[in-house]
Structure 1
Amino acid sequence: MDDSMFDALCESVKEAGAIRRGEKKASRETRFSALDVKSIRESTGRTQEAFAQMIGVPLSTLRSWEQGKRAPTGPARALLTMFKTDPEQAAKLLHVA
């Protein structure tokens, strides 16, 4: 890494710190809309128990998502987005159709 790239990286880290401390406003924010997990599950025609097992999460986690107490993140969010887009194809990809 040359000096100019290293300097740019250091400046970015300093800027991130300032944003985190509230000293500077972020230039942009990314917000994700909430997934309606219950409607996604219902589109599959499965019970909470069956859907939780199918996507590999504890039943309590699925219930927390459906009640809005927690929100799915990472791979779980991606998987639920697949089910939202095409429930039948997502089930086939999981070999549970």
Structure 2
Amino acid sequence: MTFFNELKASLEEAVEIKEGKKAAARVTRYEIADVKAIREQLNVSQSEMAAALGTSVDTIKSWESRRRNPTGLAAKVLAVIQSNPAFFYELAAH
């Protein structure tokens, strides 16, 4: 099977899944961190959180307003902070 045929078959399968004719083989769901709740739990400002995470205050604001969602390493770090708030203070110290 050529690359084109594999791609075509994949797209046809995606259409079948979207139309409900076929079930997806796997579904991945991610829980999006509530950045504002985490920050308030830590009792820190947006600028303090931005400094600890190595990002801008605008990024923190956009996460809090849900205009954007943390992804990649930021999402993982926020998940760790949520389950272990002391980790935030370790980050902030560096």
- For the criterion TM > 0.5, the same-fold answer is yes
Structure 1 alignment gaps of length 5 or more: 1-6
Following superposition, the deviation at residue 49 of structure 1 comes to: 0.7
> CA deviation digits over 1:23-75, x for unaligned, max 9?
44422211112211111112222100110111011111110100111110000
TM-score by length of 1: 0.72
Following superposition, the deviation at residue 89 of structure 1 comes to: 2.8
What is the letter of the counterpart of residue 29 of structure 1? V
What is the letter of the counterpart of residue 45 of structure 2? T
TM-score by length of 2: 0.74
Following superposition, the deviation at residue 95 of structure 1 comes to: 5.4
**Amino-acid identity (%):** 32
State how far apart, in whole Å, the 2-side matches of 1:85 and 1:78 are: 11
2:90 aligned with 1:96, yes or no? no
Runs of 4 or more consecutive aligned structure 1 residues displaced over 6 Å after TM superposition: none
Partner of 1:87: 85
Structure 2 alignment gaps of length 5 or more: none
Q: How many residue pairs were aligned?
A: 85
